[in-house]
Structure 1
């Protein structure tokens, strides 16, 4: 009986430790440009995550610092930002947003959201400047 209990405990421990990675939320590992970076030019934003992403539920928005994406879109006096094409790396862990043309000089806020296999949405934001 003691042996059966020990085996059951070992099996339960293994099952719990192997299931944990499958339940992990994606975390942002890095971005290019990096948070708070000052860059000469920006034609692309790259976000690298810890988990394979669900592309249909993952994306980003960019707006001039101090404005939401919706505020910028509604402000007709401001120049529109270049169009963005979003793709994903072959491993599914990297979101690549490519602009039709380089961003104009200024400070920007990137707001991102990501969903992985656990289906929980995570989000965040960071700022960078184009000199």
Structure 2
């Protein structure tokens, strides 16, 4: 095989591997405020920080109260708005009213430029 053909094949294989790696990139939850498993005062907003820029029209979250001290109940949806941020890798969940004492779960769906949805959840407590 000539040097030109060998170089061309090597360049094509490298480009294919790079494009494949880029296509496989999915957003991952890097951190959150409040953090997973934490107990704190009621946050006025919940921030989810991802590894990739989010496509906001396809990303979202639900806030659910899963436990309230002294009361047994089924998980209850909490009215909240979900928006992007100045940082395109951050999703913001803003409760419509202050959160009361209890355990909360955020069920999120993140979509980045690869359009593949990734889902997960975050649990925290309010004292």
Short-chain TM bin: 0.7 to 0.9
TM-score by length of 2: 0.82
CA shift, 1:99, in A, is 1.9
| Corresponding residue for residue 76 of structure 1 | none
CA shift in 2, pair 1:85/1:37, >3 Å: same
How many residue pairs were aligned? 120
Write the mapping of 1:70-81 to structure 2, written as runs, cut at 5 A.
72-73=76-77, 81=78
Write the mapping of 1:50-129 to structure 2, written as runs, cut at 5 A.
50-65=51-66, 72-73=76-77, 81=78, 83-129=79-125
TM-score by length of 1: 0.80
Work out the CA distance in 2 between the residues paired with 1:129 and 1:110. Answer: 11
1:63-109: CA deviation from partner (whole Å, max 9, x where unpaired) = 1226xxx9525xxxxxxx3x422221234110011223321110111
Return 5+ residue gaps in structure 2 as ranges. Answer: 68-73
